[in-house]
Amino acid sequence: MENSRLDVMVALMSSEPEIIDPLGPQADEELSQTLVLLNRLSQEDAEQINELMKSTQVRFAEAALQLGAVSQEELDQAREWISRRALSKGSGLIEEILRRTARKRDVILWEHDQLEPSTGLILAHQPDHPYSEAIRSLRTELLLRCKGTRAIIALLSPCAGDGRSKLAAELAVAFAQLGRRTLLVDADLRKPSQHRLFAAENDLGLVQALTDGGSHHFHGIKYLPEMALLTSGEVPQNPLELVSGRGFERAIREWRRSFEFVILDTPPLTRFSDAVAIAATAGNALVVGRAEVTRFKDLNELRRSLSAAHCRILGAAINRY
């Protein structure tokens, strides 16, 4: 496990990166992305800015100023942060912006006993490990593709053993460390594993909430006040029906209101079709594969299934062991 690597390839299988971009030089691209994240520009704002850019041949920042989407002070602040980042080579500018935003929120308090991440979750215990840096890099790429706003992301892989469940847990830890309210959901109702990664009881969880329509039994995580875990609960007899029903849709809507990021673990696609149903409801998918093991044919089939379900593919991450 200590030699584990994660290759981030978020452009793989994405028909078009969903990042607002003036298509200019790298400096202009960084400034435009910073303005979007810093000022939480809406999709409508971005479309108006892009239209003005095309009609007047100006850059993103100038178009945003002309439309009043940002002020000169906000533009100067964004440039200052970019300059500081270049000098310090410290934490990413995007992450700094998000941390500043997070400080304004109240800390979430969970009623249930807090769990401790297992030692197998490297980011939680070894922040300086190269694998932890790869996870943070993936987190930043996902933030860019989600424009720094709320998102529900389902992790899908063709086969068991691709590292999907561990990556889902690591990503949830990464978002929570950034100060974003994050929920990790074990939606693998076939062979769940998140409860083992956090040493949690699994008698109550997603299954019971969907079956009984009751409250969700969230677990808090030690040292991560912004993170919660919803285990799968006891394995049901009708998992596909549960994740395809209206109860799951209602749960997704509730999570979207309560959390900024929701990470969903799913069953392997080559054995079960649950994952596509989950991803279709979530709206966003990250494909996970294992180097020299996962076949390109299976990845391509997964891509076709997600496209047919009208699910946005954020990209892919390839585990190397």
Count of CB atoms situated within 10 Å of the CB of 122: 22
The answer to whether residue 242 scores a pLDDT higher than 70 is yes
Residue 318's φ and ψ, nearest 5 degrees, are -110, 120
What is the pTM assigned to this prediction?
0.70
Instruction: Please compute the mean of the pLDDT values over residues 38-49 and round it to a whole number.
Output: 73
Is residue 179 a contact partner of residue 259, using CB atoms and an 8 Å limit?
A: no
Nearest alpha-carbon partner for 190 in 237, 227, 223, 148: 237
In whole angstroms, what is the distance from residue 259 CA to residue 227 CA? 9
Nearest alpha-carbon partner for 125 in 1, 269, 33, 6: 1
Structure tokens at 191: 């062979």
List Cβ neighbours of 194 (8 Å cut-off, separation of 6 or more).
Answer: 165, 168, 169, 184, 186, 188, 200, 229, 231, 232, 265
Residue 161 confidence (pLDDT): 87
Residue 7 confidence (pLDDT): 58
Highest-pLDDT range among 77-81, 178-182, 239-243? 239-243
pLDDT digits (tens, 9 = 90+) for 87-106: 544 445 555 555 555 544 44
Instruction: Please compute the mean of the pLDDT values over residues 45-52 and round it to a whole number.
Output: 82
Q: Per mean pLDDT, which range of 10-24, 63-77, 97-111 is the poorest?
A: 10-24
Q: Which domains does the chain have, with CATH numbers?
A: 5-15+107-320 (3.40.50.300), 26-102 (no CATH)
Who has greater pLDDT, 19 or 141?
141
What Rg value do the Cα atoms of the chain yield, rounded? 20
Residue 283 confidence (pLDDT): 94
